[in-house]
């Protein structure tokens, strides 16, 4: 099949590459010229495990190409994916200007039947808006399909190649057949493709992300209470998660959820509810609690040192909003760094992939180092912010040598309390007793 993917970011580049991997011809379109130039020159523009191999193979074999020329890509393709940004607008609603802006151009470019697939996360009713925008100038038949994407950054390639499920919202039999043919190779192990109406598909994505954000937030509240009452959230998590109605995954407390999806999607669903005069109370609490949680670690650190960090170096391990990505959008690290700087600290930081992005935000206000241990030299405190595997079993005796004070604040509960007690660090984590 011939496919165009408009928007070559995390979702567009991964989807386009994976569609090429199953033998399709994919043209990825982006209006960012330097991005397209890099990709044309064989350079990936994002970090995503496993992507390089597939990208290399499919570009080499000519199934995956890149262009800034939207019209060329549209004319060549039967299926057109929109993987465009839907950032939060000022009122919290999803900003549809990218999606509708492209949709408006499609009508007059289309010379044959096309399936236009909305892969961006968009509010209920958007498929109808996209249809209307295209119809203004279209002279040929077309169908608009809602196909929300559930991939997780960091494991995006695996998620895309072997999705738990594929959700397709369409009321057109013709489009349904096209979409079934396209996704069939990805569900050969028996995972389902769910066909539904467009509105339900759009809602499914928001419901899934908002539920996950709620689950994390609930655990953060449990963790905060555990600290107060002297319980250990790790034990509580295991005890809870073994109930098959609850399940073990996605119960880890931390420094709040971040990333380009949960914060904006929870906000957008809350706005949809508000616009429809529905008081979606839980979502408002989730947003409030998460905003508080992003400051929990920095507030503990500042309090530990008497309210002022002037003259102290605080080292951060981890900047990305989660491991295995270079994405820092809405990362808790941003809020933590801002708090620490405001309290007078010198901040040193290390992340395996996200330093370039964070440097673009903080410049020389933060001292970024090339090796994780370099961050610790003369530091009064190590703050763990992202749970990269590389941080899990460090050389604590070397850490003790480097640091001015043996103090760790761990926002991801990477280390056991017993180990910390044995090696004599002050150790403060989330939802567990601190070790003096």
User: Of 79-87, 165-173, 210-218, 227-235, which part binds ligand NAD (CB under 6 A)?
Assistant: 79-87
- The answer to whether 18 and 160 are in contact (CB under 8 A) is yes
CB of 222 to ligand NAD, least distance (A): 26
Question: Does 35 sit near ligand NAD (CB under 6 A)?
Answer: yes
Question: Does 7 sit near ligand NAD (CB under 6 A)?
Answer: yes
User: Of 81-89, 215-223, 389-397, 403-411, which part binds ligand NAD (CB under 6 A)?
Assistant: 81-89
Using the rule CB under 6 A, which residue among 49, 50, 85, 89 binds ligand NAD? 85
**Which residue number, 219 or 268, has a Cβ lying nearer to ligand NAD?**
268
User: Of 5-13, 58-66, 190-198, 350-358, which part binds ligand NAD (CB under 6 A)?
Assistant: 5-13
Q: Which of residues 225-244 bind ligand NAD (CB under 6 A)?
A: none
φ, ψ for residue 77 (rounded to 5)?
A: -120, 150
The residue annotated as part of the active site, out of 18, 226, 261, 381, is 261
CB proximity list for 15: less than 8 A, separation 6 or greater: 5, 81, 83, 119, 149, 160
CB proximity list for 254: less than 8 A, separation 6 or greater: 216, 220, 293, 332, 387, 411, 412, 413, 430
Question: Does 11 sit near ligand NAD (CB under 6 A)?
Answer: yes
User: Of 83-91, 178-186, 270-278, 348-356, which part binds ligand NAD (CB under 6 A)?
Assistant: 83-91
Question: Does 5 sit near ligand NAD (CB under 6 A)?
Answer: no
Question: Does 93 sit near ligand NAD (CB under 6 A)?
Answer: no
The two structure tokens encoding residue 309: 């960090």
The two structure tokens encoding residue 131: 């249809």
CB of 92 to ligand NAD, least distance (A): 14
Applying CB under 6 A, what is the total number of residues that bind ligand NAD?
A: 26
**Which residue number, 42 or 101, has a Cβ lying nearer to ligand NAD?**
101
CB proximity list for 338: less than 8 A, separation 6 or greater: none
- The answer to whether 404 and 379 are in contact (CB under 8 A) is yes
User: Of 31-39, 167-175, 304-312, 358-366, which part binds ligand NAD (CB under 6 A)?
Assistant: 31-39
Query: Going residue by residue from 342 to 361, which x/- string records binding to ligand NAD, judged by CB under 6 A?
Result: --------------------
Question: Does 260 sit near ligand NAD (CB under 6 A)?
Answer: yes
261 catalytic, yes or no? Answer: yes
CB of 51 to ligand NAD, least distance (A): 13
2-6 β-sheet, strand order: 64-67, 25-29, 2-6, 79-82, 114-118, 142-146, 166-169, 193-196
Pairing type for strands 25-29 and 2-6 reads parallel
- The answer to whether 349 and 417 are in contact (CB under 8 A) is no
SS3 at position 75: helix
**Which residue number, 67 or 217, has a Cβ lying nearer to ligand NAD?**
67
Question: Does 211 sit near ligand NAD (CB under 6 A)?
Answer: no
Using the rule CB under 6 A, which residue among 4, 84, 167, 333 binds ligand NAD? 84
**Which residue number, 179 or 236, has a Cβ lying nearer to ligand NAD?**
179
CB of 89 to ligand NAD, least distance (A): 13
CB proximity list for 278: less than 8 A, separation 6 or greater: none
Neighbour tally for 318: CB within 10 Å: 29
- The answer to whether 372 and 348 are in contact (CB under 8 A) is no
Question: Does 120 sit near ligand NAD (CB under 6 A)?
Answer: yes
- The answer to whether 376 and 382 are in contact (CB under 8 A) is yes
Neighbour tally for 308: CB within 10 Å: 11
Task: Report how far residue 366's alpha carbon sits from residue 331's, in angstroms, rounded to the nearest whole number.
Answer: 16
CB of 210 to ligand NAD, least distance (A): 13
Binding site for ligand NAD (CB under 6 A): 6-12, 29-32, 35, 83-86, 98, 101-102, 120-121, 149, 151, 153, 260-261
């Amino acid at each position: 099949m011939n496919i165009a993917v408009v928007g070559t970011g995390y979702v567009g580049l991964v989807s386009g590459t994976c569609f090429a991997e199953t033998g399709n011809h994919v043209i990825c379109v982006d209006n960012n010229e330097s991005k397209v130039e890099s990709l044309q020159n064989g350079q990936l523009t994002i970090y995503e495990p496993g992507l390089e191999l597939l990208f290399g193979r499919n570009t080499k074999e000519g199934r995956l190409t890149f262009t800034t020329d939207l019209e060329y890509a549209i004319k060549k393709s039967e299926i057109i994916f929109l993987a465009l940004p839907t950032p939060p607008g000022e009122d919290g609603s999803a900003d549809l200007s990218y999606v509708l802006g492209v949709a408006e151009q499609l009508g007059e470019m289309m010379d044959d039947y096309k399936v236009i697939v909305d892969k961006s996360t968009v509010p209920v009713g958007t498929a109808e808006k996209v249809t209307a925008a295209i119809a203004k100038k279209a002279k040929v038949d077309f169908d608009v399909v809602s196909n929300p994407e559930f991939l997780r950054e960091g494991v995006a390639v695996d998620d895309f190649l072997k999705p738990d499920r594929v959700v397709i919202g369409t009321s057109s039999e013709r489009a349904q057949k096209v979409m079934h043919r396209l996704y069939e190779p990805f569900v050969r192990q028996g995972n389902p493709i769910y066909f539904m109406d467009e509105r339900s598909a759009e809602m499914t994505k928001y419901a899934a992300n908002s539920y996950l954000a709620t689950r994390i937030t609930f655990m953060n509240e449990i963790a905060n209470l555990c600290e107060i009452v002297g319980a250990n959230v790790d034990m509580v998590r295991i005890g809870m998660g073994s109930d098959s109605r609850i399940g073990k995954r996605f119960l880890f407390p931390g420094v709040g959820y971040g990333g380009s999806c949960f914060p904006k999607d929870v906000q957008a669903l809350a706005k949809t509810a508000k616009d429809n005069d529905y008081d979606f109370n839980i979502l408002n609490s989730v947003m409030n609690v998460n905003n508080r949680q992003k400051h929990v670690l920095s507030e503990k650190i500042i309090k530990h040192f008497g309210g002022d960090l002037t003259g102290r170096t605080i080292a951060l391990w981890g900047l990305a909003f989660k491991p295995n990505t270079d994405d820092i959008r809405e990362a808790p690290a941003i809020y933590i760094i801002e708090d620490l700087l405001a309290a007078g600290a010198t901040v040193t930081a290390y992340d395996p992939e996200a330093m370039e992005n964070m440097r673009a935000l903080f410049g020389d206000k933060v001292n970024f180092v090339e090796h994780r241990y370099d961050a610790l030299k003369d530091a009064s405190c190590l703050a763990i912010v992202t749970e990269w595997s590389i941080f899990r079993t460090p050389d604590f005796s070397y850490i003790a040598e480097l640091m001015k004070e043996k103090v760790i604040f761990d926002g991801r509960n990477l280390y056991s309390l017993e180990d910390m007690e044995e090696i004599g660090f002050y150790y403060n984590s989330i939802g567990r007793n601190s070790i003096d």
